[in-house]
C-alpha cells in the first residue's frame, strides 16, 4: 500500500492568502470602530435614531438629513463622503 505524500503549498501563495485575510480583518475592524465612534458622537450630542436598525438605507438617509446644533459638527457626518469612503449598510 502506498502512503500519501504531503506536499506543502507554495510559500508565496500561502503568504498572499494570509495577507488578504489580515487586510480584510483589519478593514472590518476599522469599519466597526468608525461606526462606534460616529454613534458615540451622535449620542453625546443628544441624537438618537428612532428606527429599528442602524446602518440600513433608512438610517443612512437619517444621517444625511441630520441637522447638527453647530454647523462645525456637520463635518463629522460629511467626512466619509469627502474622503471617498462610505459607511456601508448592513452589519459590520
Return the pLDDT at 23. 96
Query: Is 20 part of any domain?
Result: yes
pTM over 0.85: no
As a whole number of angstroms, the distance between CA 37 and CA 12 comes to 37
- Return the percentage of the chain with pLDDT > 90, whole number: 45
Question: How many domains does the chain contain in total?
Answer: 1
Instruction: Give Cβ neighbours of residue 59 (< 8 Å, ≥ 6 apart).
Output: 49, 51, 53, 89
Residue-level pLDDT at 64: 87
- Inform me whether the pLDDT recorded for 20 exceeds 70: yes
Q: Which domain holds residue 75?
A: 11-82
Q: Would 32 be classed as within a structural domain? A: yes
Task: Report yes or no on 87 lying in a domain.
Answer: no
Residue 6 resides in a domain: no
Average pLDDT of the segment spanning 29-42: 92
**For residue 24, what pLDDT is reported?**
96
Amino acid at each position: 500500500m502506498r502512503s500519501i505524500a504531503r506536499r506543502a503549498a507554495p510559500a508565496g501563495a500561502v503568504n498572499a492568502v494570509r495577507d488578504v485575510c489580515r487586510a480584510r480583518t483589519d478593514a472590518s475592524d476599522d469599519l466597526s470602530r468608525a461606526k462606534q465612534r460616529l454613534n458615540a458622537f451622535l449620542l453625546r450630542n443628544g441624537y438618537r435614531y428612532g428606527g429599528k436598525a442602524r446602518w440600513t438605507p433608512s438610517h443612512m438617509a437619517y444621517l444625511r438629513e441630520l441637522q447638527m446644533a453647530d454647523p462645525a459638527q456637520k463635518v463629522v457626518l460629511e467626512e466619509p463622503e469627502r474622503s471617498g469612503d462610505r459607511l456601508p449598510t448592513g452589519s459590520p
